[in-house]
Amino acid sequence: MYINKKINKENFFLFLIFIIFISIGFSSFKDYGVSIDEEIHLSNGEQYYNYFLGLFNNDPNFISTNELKIKYSHRHGQDPVVFDFSVIFLADLLNLNEKQKIYHLKHLMNYSIFLIGSFYFFLILRKRFDNFFFNYSRFTLFSFITKDIFK
């Protein structure tokens, strides 16, 4: 069965832009560097992941609720744990033990979330404005001016 479908210019251009963004991100995510608070977030994710594993095991090697409260009483509510926990969970699934590889995974996940957010930002622009040039120029301007593309 042969489907003769005309290629839509707007969709092709959108696809091309995202392929460029994906190639930029995947080729440069190892060059992002390590910020000052990366170690804190890594430790935060590891502690909460150990607590999570301890909920299902009676092994004393895992952290208990009281130990978690004592360790993080000074930072309670300041550091969000969802992203850090998901990075450590995925690193455990992939058997990543080196900190550098975990940092690379974190940067890759961060960039992936940025790409998803950028795609939905473009869809909002597309729905709100009918001008083809305006949508793409604003989208690319937003993406390149914000430093998030290289985060």
Q: What is the pLDDT along the chain (151 residues), one digit of tens a residue?
A: 555 566 677 778 778 878 888 888 888 877 777 778 888 888 888 888 888 887 777 767 777 777 777 766 666 556 678 888 999 999 999 999 898 899 889 988 988 888 888 788 778 877 887 777 777 777 777 766 665 544 4
- The one-letter code for the residue type at 140 is T
User: How far is 85 from 97, CA to CA, in rounded Å?
Assistant: 15
Q: Pick left, alpha or beta for residue 33 (phi over 0 → left; psi -120 to 50 → alpha; otherwise beta).
A: left
CA distances, 137 to each of 85, 140, 145 (Å): 36, 5, 12
108 in a structural domain: yes
* Whole-number Cα distances in Å, 32 to 27, 28, 38: 11, 7, 12
**What is the DSSP secondary structure assignment for residue 19, as one 8-state letter?**
H
Same structural domain for residues 64 and 102? no
Model confidence, pTM: 0.74
Same domain, 103 and 145: yes
Verify that 100 and 146 share a domain, yes or no.
yes
Same-domain check for residues 60 and 109: no
Q: Which domain holds residue 147?
A: 96-151
Domains in the chain, number: 2
